[in-house]
Amino acid sequence: MNLVNEMMFKIIGMPVSINYYKKFLLKKDKKGRFIFDESMKVMQFDVEETILQKEDEGVIESKIRSRGQGDSHSYNHEIRYL
């Protein structure tokens, strides 16, 4: 259903939120249990989210996310609409 809504919003020119989260890289062992894939390169970084006050009625959530390590960070402003 979300895919249909996003396609319609895109057709009529409204902003579309694109979210894809993959928090853990897992694989199944022979018993069917999920285990961490140790062959994957692991990198630790800091994530800080600041929730902003909503100014528009159509906005569900507005936040700024800082992500990085050491002196290097990237900043994203994410707005979710109804």
pLDDT of residue 78 exceeding 80, the answer is yes
Both tokens of residue 33?
């249990």
Counting the structural domains of the chain, the total is 1
Report pLDDT digits (tens) over 18-76: 665 666 677 788 898 888 777 777 788 899 999 998 888 888 889 999 999 989 999 99
The number of residues making up the chain comes to: 82
Extended beta strands in 11-51, E state = 26-28, 34-36, 46-51
State the residue range of the domain holding 35. 2-81
- What is the pLDDT, as a whole number, of residue 64? 93
CA distances from 77 to 10, 39, 67 (A): 19, 33, 12
Whole-structure pTM value: 0.48
Q: Which residues contact 37 (CB under 8 A, 6 or more apart)?
A: 25, 26, 27
- What is the pLDDT, as a whole number, of residue 3? 66
